[in-house]
Amino acid sequence: MKVAVFSTCAYDEDFFKQFNTGHELSFFAVPLTDQTVSLTNGFEAVCIFVNDQADAVVLNKLHENGVRLIALRCAGFNNVDLIKSKELGIQVARVPAYSPEAVAEHALALILTLNRKTHKAYNRVREGNFSLERLMGFNLHGRKVAVIGTGNIGKAFCMILKGLGCIISAYDPYPDESLKSLGITYGTLKETLLDADVVSLHCPLNDDTFHLINSETLTLFSKGAMLINTSRGALIDTASVINALKSGQLGYLGMDVYEQEGKLFFRDHSEDVIQDDLITRLISFPNVLITSHQGFFTQEAMEQIATTTFKNIDDFAAGVVLTNSVIGI
C-alpha cells in the first residue's frame, strides 16, 4: 500500500524503514492538518501521531483523495473525528499498547528529578558548586500517591510505586482487580485526590477528562503537592495550575505533555521567540520540569509501535478484521 507518514522525525524514518513489511512509504515532517492534507492525494493510507489532526474537514479531503485507512502510531485517538470517519468508511487503527513501562518509568523520572533536584545538582557541580543548599527533597516511602487511570501505563506505574513503599490511591471507572489484591485502594476522584502528596495522570483525554485538573480539584491536593502528567496536555487547565504554583498550593509540576504542544513539541525552537505565554511562564518556575512528549521514547517502544502499525496496515490490505480498530467498521 502507498502510505503517507506525517509528523516524522529522523528516528521515525529509521524504525519504519527497518520494520517495513513491503509498503511504499512517503515521509512528511509536517503535521497532518487542513493545510497539508492535499499531500495525501494518491495515497491509500495515512500514518499519523499525537498532534496530527483528523477532524471532519481533513477527513472529507482524505476521503476525496482516496485514503481508506488512518493508522495511528500511538494509543490515543482524541485527534480523530470517529463519527465522521465511520460515516465516510475510513478505518482507524491504533497501537493500543507499546511498552507501558516506558511511560511509567518516565513519570517516575520526573518525580525523582523534581523531588531530589538532580538536574540542578548536575549543573551546580559542573560549575564547581558542591553546596547542598536548596536541594532538599522528601522520602517517597509512605507518601500518598494518587494515580488517575489504571490502564496498562497506570498499572505499570502502580507496580513501580509499590516497590517504593508509597501509599497508592487510584481512580478509574474500571478498577483493576489485580491491583486491588495488592492493597491499592480505589475511590471517587475526590477521595483519590484528597490530601495526595503526588498526583500522576494516566488516563485518556475525552469529554469526561478534559481539564480534569482545574481550580477546584487542585484544592483537594495536599498543600505543596506534586502533579505529574505523562498522558495528554488537556487533562490540565494550565492557567489554574499556574495560579496554584504561584500560591504554593502546588509545589511541583512535571509535564511530558502540554495542551498546546502541537505548535512546539518535536521541533527545535531554540532560535525562535516562543509566542505561547503560558508555557514560557511555566518554564520560568524553578519547581517545574517540562519534557517534550518523550515518555514513550525507548528502543523497545519504538520497535513495538513500528511492528504494530505495520500489522494494522497489513491486515487492512489483506481485508481481514483489524484487531486494533478504533471504530470497528
What DSSP line would sit under 270-306, residue for residue?
A: TTS----HHHHHHHH-TTEEE--S-TT-SHHHHHHHH
Whole-number Å distance between alpha carbons of 213 and 145: 15
Between 98 and 34, residue with greater pLDDT: 34
**For position 327, what pLDDT does the model report?**
77
| Residue 312, CA distances (Å) to 48, 81, 143, 316 in order | 13, 19, 42, 6
Whole-number Å distance between alpha carbons of 170 and 193: 9
User: Span 276-288, mean pLDDT?
Assistant: 97
* pLDDT beyond 70 at 329: no
All three cell numbers of 319, joined, read: 481485508
List phi, psi (to 5°) of 193.
-80, -25
Give the pLDDT confidence of 123-160 residue by residue, as tens digits. Answer: 999 999 999 999 999 999 999 999 999 999 999 999 99
User: Span 14-34, mean pLDDT?
Assistant: 97
**Residue among 59, 85, 79, 73 nearest 234 (CA):** 79
309 close to 71: Cβ distance less than 8 angstroms: yes
- Beta-carbon neighbour count of residue 292 at 10 Å? 16
Concerning whether 126 is annotated as a catalytic residue, the answer is no
Question: SS3 of 227, please?
Answer: strand
User: Span 198-227, mean pLDDT?
Assistant: 97
Percentage of residues in the chain having pLDDT higher than 90:
96
Q: Which helix (H) or strand (E) holds 225?
A: strand 225-229
Concerning whether 134 is annotated as a catalytic residue, the answer is no
* pLDDT beyond 90 at 99: no
All structural domains of the chain: 2-98+299-318 (3.40.50.720), 100-290 (3.40.50.720)
**Which one of 44, 73, 259, 261 is the catalytic residue?**
261
For the chain, the first-to-last Cα distance in angstroms comes to: 19
List phi, psi (to 5°) of 199.
-120, 125
CB-based contacts of 92, cutoff 8 Å, min separation 6: 69, 70, 72, 77, 80, 82, 85, 325, 326, 327
| Residue 277, CA distances (Å) to 210, 253, 262, 301 in order | 21, 17, 15, 33
**For position 97, what pLDDT does the model report?**
82
Written as one letter, the residue type at 172 is D
Question: SS3 of 70, please?
Answer: strand
Burial pattern 84-112, b for ≥16 Cβ within 10 A else e, equals bbeebebbbbbbeebbbbbbbbbbbbbbe
User: Span 7-24, mean pLDDT?
Assistant: 97
**Which one of 73, 94, 143, 232 is the catalytic residue?**
232
